A and B are shown apart, each in its own frame.
Chain A
Amino acid sequence: DIQMTQSPSTLSASVGDRVTITCRASQYISAWLAWYQQKPGKAPKLLIHQASRLESGVPSRFSGSGSGTEFTLTISSLQPDDFATYYCQHYNGYLWTFGQGTKVEVK
Chain B
Amino acid sequence: QVQLVQSGAEVEKPGASVKVSCKASGYTFGSYGVSWVRQAPGQGLEWMGWISAYNGNTNYAQKFQGRVTMTTDTSTTTAYMELRSLTSDDTAVYYCARGNGHHDYWGQGTLVTVSS
State whether A101 and B102 are in contact (beta carbons under 8 Å apart), knowing that A43-B95, A94-B59, A96-B35 are contacts in the complex.
no
CB-CB under 8 A from A101, the residues of chain B are 44-45
Contact B46 A98 (CB under 8 A): yes
Task: Give B92-116 as 1s and 0s: 1 = Cβ < 8 Å from A's Cβ atoms.
Answer: 0001010001111011110000000
B47 at the interface (CB under 8 A from A): yes
Asked whether any CB of chain A lies closer than 8 Å to the CB of B61, the reply is: yes
Interface residues of B in 1-52 (CB under 8 A from A): 35, 37, 44-47, 50
B107 cross-chain contacts in A, Cβ below 8 A: 43
Within 8 Å of chain B (Cβ to Cβ): is A22?
no
Interface size class, chain B:
20 to 34
* Residue A97, interface by CB 8 Å: yes
Interface bits A36-55 vs B (CB < 8 Å: 1, else 0): 10100001111001100001
Residue total for A at the interface (Cβ-Cβ under 8 A): 23
A60–B97 alpha-carbon span in the complex (Å)? 24
Among the listed B35, B61, B104, which residue makes an inter-chain contact with A46, where contact means beta carbons less than 8 Å apart? B104
Contact status of A34 and B61, CB under 8 A, knowing A87-B44, A89-B47 = no
Can you report 12 A-B residue pairs in the complex whose CB atoms are below 8 A from each other? A1-B62, A32-B101, A34-B103, A36-B103, A43-B97, A43-B109, A46-B104, A89-B102, A96-B35, A98-B47, A99-B44, A100-B44
Q: A1-B62, A49-B101, A96-B47 are in contact. List 4 more A-B contacts (CB 8 A).
A: A1-B61, A43-B95, A87-B44, A94-B50
